Structure 1
Amino acid sequence: MSAATYENADRKPGPKKTTKKTTKTTGLNKTGPRKPDPKETGGPKKTGPKKTRVTALLAARAARTHRKAWAAVFAALALTSLLLGAFTLALASAGLGHARVERYADADLVVTGDQNTRFTAKPWGSKPETATAGLTERVRVPRAALKTVRAVPGVRSAIADEVFQAGVEGTRTTGRPWDAARLGSYSLREGAAPRQASEVVVGEGTARVGERVTVRVAGTDATYRVTGVAEGPRDAAYFTSAEARRLAGHPGSVAAVGVTAAPGTSTSDLYARVRHALDAAGLHGVGHRADGDGAGLHVLTGNGRGGAEFLGAAPARSGMLALLGSVMATVVLIALLVVSSTVVQALQQRSRELGLLRAVGATPRQLRGAVGREVGRVAAGAALVGAVAAVPAYLALRTLLDARGALPPGLELPLPPWLLPAPLVTAGLTLLVARVAALIACARTTKVRPAEALREAAPGNARRITGLVLLFIGASSAATATLQHGEAAAAAAGAAAVVLVIGCALLGPWIAEGAMRVLGGPLRRHGGPAGHLAAANCTASARRLGAALTPIILVTAFVSVQLAAGATMTHAAGDQAEKAARADYAVTAAGGLPKGTLERIRATPGVRAATAVTRGTVVLARRETGSPRLDRLPVLGVTPEGLSRTLDPAVREGGLSALRPGTVAVGRDQARDLDVRPGSKVTLRFGDGVEARLKVVATYDRELALGAFLFSRDQLLRHTSAPGPDRILVAAADTATTSLRAAAPGARVTADPAPERLDPEDRALGEVVTVAAVGAVGGFTVIAVLSTLSLITIGRRPELALLRLAGAGRDQLRRMLRLEAAATALTGLVVGAAVASFPLLAFSLSTARTIPHLPLPQAALIALTVAATTAAGTLVPSWPVLRGRYPAR
């Protein structure tokens, strides 16, 4: 009987049918003969309930089995979520930030000058764009606006306010009219309001009622009788309206106009009426500019009223937003690299396990689903933990900013309750990053045929070529930085560092192989048997060592660039300031120095030269790749007579003796950017927005310390809120102190004064944010190095156990592991330093014309952190094998 007869013996008689029996497999869901299924390559395919159960089972089993591998991934994802959430809160808070309202808290409206300047240009092939920059010097309101506002229906009162600097008994004070105190609800604690020009009300703690005080304004002293003590700021002095107007020195204008509404008139209605009245009158800010729109007066309401009090708050807020955005973009990029590397390393340690599942019939979709679920479980918890911790992290950053004085006076950064859930939104981005990294990590295993799944592929030529191309691009970007200046050079250097790090990550196996060729000889000659074992292992496991080198190179390069860039600029500026300092004395006084003081000091016996110095700001309008840009720069105004004896800018071309109103001296790098030289013309906007076209009379070298432009003191004073020179620098004999005090009565005479130095407005803020960024990247790197080396060491436990069985002692294995850790740390530090040196050298040569500078304690901290982390990641996971009596299995 045939096989077919036996097969059909138990069947009932009936029509004979011929059927073709097929066995369809769906991966691990069924068993039986397997035939290639084109749908397993990843094409569209429905996922049934059984497949879902299999995927969930694989994910659950793997998550429980590989808890140690996922611990590092959890930490990296939690830190990523924390940083994203904290920076999101910082950006949102800065976006909602505003100047604090104090002096105008009871005013419904405040009329002030336009504290912005604008520049419009047409980028290449695009529509015209307008750049805006805040002004730090007050734009005054014409006194005619006071009469116009008082005539508006619904206005209960319109009070003119004045703000000027004064010195009360040698203490720096802000002077104001007493009528304006009502705008801030400041009442008298004791005494009475001033009614005569010789009376004054002071802040609490300054003087007592009935006492007589000396007040200095614009260098002129006068005696006033204290009639009252007021609430509010202690550094305030209130005069009668007429006296305040006289002391302010601007009879045709006022600082601002505070407006209160009549009963029954809403703020919105009053705003519309006042706005219409000012527009109909055609009034503009005093001395205001030919910069197009915005030259008129502004009417402020709500939180905007604080802008009339704290002029530096709005510009500082704009700079803070730009700085936070730039640093956040860099930190997020580093975080994505570290997270991706950590996830990939965790899955690469299981490549054989995934290959085995593929070999026994798991489909690519099942593997991707299992890995995705596994990563999703870890990432969900990590993202939630990081999002919750983002709020205290942001509060800690705010505390650090306040403690370091990095925020300008009067800038409020609110954190409303509805903003607190914002980190939960960024947690979703963390989940997405983790899933994408997991799919990339298991892509190779899921695409190969089942029969080839267990093979370990060596790094291909494509990876090598890509890494070399990135190194070339990074080196080219660093070379480009040498041809640029300022922020453009810094951006090019930063981009070069990131590209070079990515290139080194791709070339990690070859870098490790080359390093072992160099270090292998010394290890074998001086390391004994342990050295031979360490050299052999590092040479045979170049790919594994390359994965460990990537985070070390990353932290060394990134942290070195971030710390050395700022340190180089600070060191170069300090060095220039020391070389420029020639003065033996500095003469200063609260409320300004009296007129004629400079001439009296110059006539004092023993005085070789005296220079009055005033600080201010200018706004430089220029195009960058066709787009408009406004840069606010700190500058100095000086008297040119004998300047080189008190303050030496190191003139290159021209001469400072010709410095007078209508002229300017330009720093060397700024002159190169603007393509100007002595005899050229340059257009600048002063701190109050007034535009001027000035003739260049000289160029000089020491602009990092003295600013990009030097002006005549008289010209700069016309556009500053200060009533007189900040101080006078004097070159004189060592015994001239008494004579100088006699020439400048009431002034403070300081011997060996601090060098004159101008710092960027956001220097303190930049230092704090840089420290936070470096700390974040350091945390990422510690996690990445520990996780990578720990996973590598855990995978080597059978190897270590075999060495123990072959007769290697614990001390030999410990020495071998120490030598391997030292070789890894040394290679990473050297390569990372080399990667950082290219962009740093380009940046320092183009901007500071010096070699990079990194303080020794900071460099030692980087090396110590890398060494300690590498040692911990290598030695700690090997303890179960080394400390046991018998080798661990």
Structure 2
Amino acid sequence: MIRQFVGADKGGLAGSFVALLAASALVTACGVLLGSGLGGGVAAERYAGAPIVISGPDSVDGKPLPERAPIPRALADRIARVPGVRAAVADVGFPVDVSGEDFVAARGHGWASAALAPLRLRSGRPPAAPGEVVVSETIPAGARIGAYRVVGVVEGVTREPVVFFTDAEAARLYGRPHLADAIGVLAAPGVTDTDALADRIEQALSGSQAPTAKQTQTGSQTPSEKQAPSAKQTPSENEAPSEFEVPSADQAPFGNDVRVFTGAARGGVEFGDVGRARGDLQAMGGSFIGFTVMIATVVVTGTRSLAAHRRRRQTALLRIVGAAPGQVRAMFAREMLAVSLVAGLLGAVPGGLLATLLLRAMAWTGMVPADFAVSSGPVPYLAALVVCVLMAQFAAWTVSRRELRIPPARALAEASLEQPGMSRGRLAAGTALLLAGTAAALLPLWLRGVFGVALAASGGLLMIISLVVLGPPLVRAGTRLLRPLLRRRYGAEGYLAAANSLAGSHRLASAVSPMILAIGFALIQLGTATTAAAGAEREVTEGVLATHVLRGGPYGLDPAVAADARTWPGVEAVTPVARTRAFVETVMLDSSELLDYEAQGVDSTRALDLGVTEGSLKGLGKGTVAISVTAAETLGVRPGSTIRIRLGDGTPLRSRVVAVYRRGLGFGDLTLPRELVLAHTATRRDDSVLLRVRPGADLAAMVARHPGVTRSDMSAVARGDQFAGLLSSALPLMLVFGYIAVSVGNSLVLSVSERGGEFGLLLRAGAGRGQVMRMMRAEALLVAALATGLGTLATVLPLAMVSYGLTGSALPYVPPWLYLVIVGGTSLLGAVSLLVPARIVLSAEGRSS
């Protein structure tokens, strides 16, 4: 009997199957993104001929470094003496501007490093003098590289154009004669065991007081890697310098602490953007998996609740004829187990495709390299299957518990007419979530900074879920409020639509819940991004006193551009800006933490106004830092305080705070001396140069002297940055939005498909098909209004507090067009999901009657 009963509810099981299938695809996609962050990347090119590459650490306390950490060049001599090593080549890299018909941004290296790659001379000879270079064949013939003469061309495919200098000239241009980016190891003839050779190198470096860790195919530490014994380090190697001492630019940030890379991990050493992309994907995938599981659990439980309501009469009859509660619970659990296993397996395939498509879209926007390879293995697919089973079992337990709590006789009555009440447990849970979300949303009033903003946004998500839990009474209240409008607009059909909604508030709440999630989640996530972007644009517009901004190619501007601008007629003020990311050490809950901040380096503030609130920027120099209000409140510091900083390449330093400023969104939370920032970035170049120019001054000739330099006004730059920020925030959310959209359609179709008896009764009572569809249009309007109102209401307080925490103003910014797209798209989807199945069901009932 139970087997027949289960088979009779194919529609309900189909709805649960669709919800779980979409959930499996979404969890798989997030898992693949996370796995790609851990193991994906780009195959080595210039290091393809070196089976082993030694480089500095790529993270500090688990935080990926935004800049490359250089290592001592002297280690190459020690490595070269290891048995089995034919040569150890120190490699350095620096930007090179190539001019000609088209500007080309290239990387410069020493000629010795050409041996690390499968590159060979196609024509000419190696560079032999400081003024000679060899170029890759990807650089157009006739291109000019300053005063250097091209004496040879190498052939072989490279990801970026390459220019080879003599080793001495490369070391001079690199600017740090005692350091190198990496050391490539060439094996002696006959040596084929790369792992054994890597072990010998580790032992040799350990003997030279160099703690090492071998990293293999994925570039992350593997279970088999070996950590060499660490000898005692001197304070200059691993500890922060003494009070306000500025570290030397030619000092390795981690001393002799190096990493040994083999296999595919060499690509991450060669390409800095790959390492940054992997860090971003790890953070993105990890955070979105939590959101995904939370939202999917709510959706799957709601869908299962709708399906259970469809067969409440049958469940009650089973109990009346003797089915024990345990049998009913087992029935729900078994059918959801079968559905979740099939849905979990089938959903994994589109999930992998979705992740690949998202990575391609992110590559198009520049968030990850265009040639970044997906590499995740089977773990995300297995994890998605397990998560689907667990979600399905939780939904089955929740729904069966509610169904078994109702006496069979009452359940028979409620199968035809819902009881308006709601269980005390659900009411208590919803109220608790609402109170917790409200409390979290209000935290920026007392806790400014990144923590307050993050907690306010999380509080908004809790408030949205609380409205879903408290859906039935809220739907009834909203329906009563909108009932007069429906009656005026649709007449008797509007009255009937309102009456149906009041009588079936639980069913309607389950159908509206995904729409509330869609609107609320989109507004919270995108509204936070647009508020921050608008605040940054406003601060840049107010704070930049320049009339023009100079920008360069992918590697930025040569410092010579700023020097040239300072002597150009008509230029009144020049402020070059070097940008990076830095970490500040703080203590939270008795635990040391590193907080990630945007940082800028300036040597003058004549062309910008940071909005100083305490202290003075006149004291900005050696051993000092200026900090934003948001960061100062997060760290609990003020002028005169000392903070511990890790620069982008991991260099530690202590700095005294000399000023606190309010325009941190537009200019970064840390402002350091420019020379310090330049010395510890991979390019050693400015991000932009701000100019204040007298009217009539001509900059064209100066700009033409520097290849790749472009001019623009600050408003255009700010608008471009705002759009790029919005796009970067929206793309990763597309997977979640798509899942919620599928859930909206699935829930609404399921809620309409069970109303065949109601439609048939209306037709037999004399109502025309047109009248029934008019009633459904009134319901579609009601559903859209309820979802829009509740979804928007849940975000007002959190977004206001997010805005207050970010900008000091409680007025968030959500572009009207964005709000209309979110609300209009969700409402249109809801209307289609209601009206199309309603017409199909109505046609079927018309034929049967």
**Same fold, judged at TM 0.5 (above):** yes
CA 1:526–1:397: 2 relative to 1, 3 Å: closer
1:300 is matched with which residue? 260
2:633 is matched with which residue? 672
2:531 is matched with which residue? 568
Q: CA deviation at 1:190?
A: 1.9
The match for 1:819 among 758, 778, 784 is: 778
**C-alpha distance in 1, partners of 2:380/2:73?**
47
| 1:147 pairs with 2:106 | no
CA 1:421–1:668: 2 relative to 1, 3 Å: closer
Deviations 1:597-654 (A, max 9, x none): 65664454432211122223322222333333223333211122xx24x222222223
TM-score using structure 1 length = 0.82
The letter for the 2-side match of 1:141 is I
| 1:58 pairs with 2:2 | yes
| 1:626 pairs with 2:590 | yes
1:201/1:230 contact within 8 Å kept = no
| 1:178 pairs with 2:104 | no
1:127 is matched with which residue? none
1:231 is matched with which residue? 156
**C-alpha distance in 1, partners of 2:689/2:794?**
46
1:871 is matched with which residue? 831
2:388 is matched with which residue? 430
Deviations 1:82-127 (A, max 9, x none): 222232333233322356422222123333334443xxxxxxxxxx
Deviations 1:134-156 (A, max 9, x none): 33333333343233223333321
| 1:79 pairs with 2:22 | yes
| 1:662 pairs with 2:595 | no
CA 1:321–1:447: 2 relative to 1, 3 Å: same
**C-alpha distance in 2, partners of 1:864/1:766?**
20
Q: CA deviation at 1:339?
A: 0.8
CA 1:852–1:438: 2 relative to 1, 3 Å: same
The letter for the 2-side match of 1:609 is A
1:797 is matched with which residue? 759
Return 811-820 or 611-620, whichever deviates more.
811-820
Q: CA deviation at 1:180?
A: 1.0
The match for 2:11 among 68, 77, 81 is: 68
Secondary structure of 1:159 counterpart: strand
Deviations 1:155-194 (A, max 9, x none): 2112232212222335332111112101112111222222
CA 1:134–1:682: 2 relative to 1, 3 Å: same
CA 1:571–1:738: 2 relative to 1, 3 Å: closer
**C-alpha distance in 2, partners of 1:595/1:870?**
56
**C-alpha distance in 2, partners of 1:521/1:400?**
47
Q: CA deviation at 1:453?
A: 4.9
Return 678-687 or 136-145, whichever deviates more.
136-145
Equivalent residue runs for 1:112-261 within 5 Å: 112-117=55-60, 131-169=61-99, 171-208=104-141, 214-216=144-146, 222-233=147-158, 235-261=161-187
Secondary structure of 1:405 counterpart: coil
The match for 2:740 among 753, 777, 786 is: 777
CA 1:796–1:442: 2 relative to 1, 3 Å: farther
The match for 2:313 among 309, 328, 352 is: 352
The letter for the 2-side match of 1:254 is A
1:842 is matched with which residue? 801
**C-alpha distance in 2, partners of 1:886/1:273?**
82
CA 1:794–1:683: 2 relative to 1, 3 Å: same
The letter for the 2-side match of 1:866 is T
Percent identity among equivalent residues? 30
The match for 1:468 among 423, 431, 443 is: 431
CA 1:729–1:262: 2 relative to 1, 3 Å: same
Secondary structure of 2:522 counterpart: helix
1:21 is matched with which residue? none
1:587/1:729 contact within 8 Å kept = yes
Deviations 1:768-796 (A, max 9, x none): 212222222222222223323443x3352
1:368 is matched with which residue? 329
CA 1:429–1:235: 2 relative to 1, 3 Å: closer
1:280 is matched with which residue? 207
1:547 is matched with which residue? 510
2:244 is matched with which residue? none
The match for 1:529 among 492, 511, 523 is: 492
CA 1:114–1:285: 2 relative to 1, 3 Å: farther
**C-alpha distance in 1, partners of 2:190/2:136?**
34
| 1:853 pairs with 2:813 | yes
CA 1:312–1:620: 2 relative to 1, 3 Å: farther
Q: CA deviation at 1:666?
A: 0.8
CA 1:459–1:166: 2 relative to 1, 3 Å: closer
The match for 1:443 among 394, 401, 409 is: 401
TM-score using structure 2 length = 0.86
The match for 1:101 among 35, 44, 68 is: 44
CA 1:381–1:248: 2 relative to 1, 3 Å: closer
Which has the higher Rg, Structure 1 or Structure 2?
1
Q: What RMSD in Å do the two structures reach over aligned CA positions?
A: 3.4
**C-alpha distance in 2, partners of 1:86/1:733?**
54
The match for 1:736 among 687, 691, 697 is: 697
| 1:637 pairs with 2:601 | yes
2:668 is matched with which residue? 707
Segments of 5+ residues of structure 2 without an aligned counterpart are 211-232, 242-252
**C-alpha distance in 1, partners of 2:79/2:235?**
17
The match for 2:279 among 318, 331, 340 is: 318
Secondary structure of 2:649 counterpart: coil
2:226 is matched with which residue? none
CA 1:66–1:178: 2 relative to 1, 3 Å: same
The letter for the 2-side match of 1:323 is M
**C-alpha distance in 2, partners of 1:675/1:445?**
53
The letter for the 1-side match of 2:182 is A
The match for 2:34 among 91, 95, 99 is: 91
2:543/2:610 contact within 8 Å kept = yes
CA 1:649–1:595: 2 relative to 1, 3 Å: closer
The match for 1:399 among 346, 356, 360 is: 360
2:97/2:145 contact within 8 Å kept = yes
Secondary structure of 1:620 counterpart: strand
2:579/2:599 contact within 8 Å kept = yes
CA 1:723–1:402: 2 relative to 1, 3 Å: closer
Secondary structure of 2:817 counterpart: helix
Secondary structure of 2:44 counterpart: coil
Secondary structure of 2:62 counterpart: strand
The match for 1:267 among 194, 200, 204 is: 194
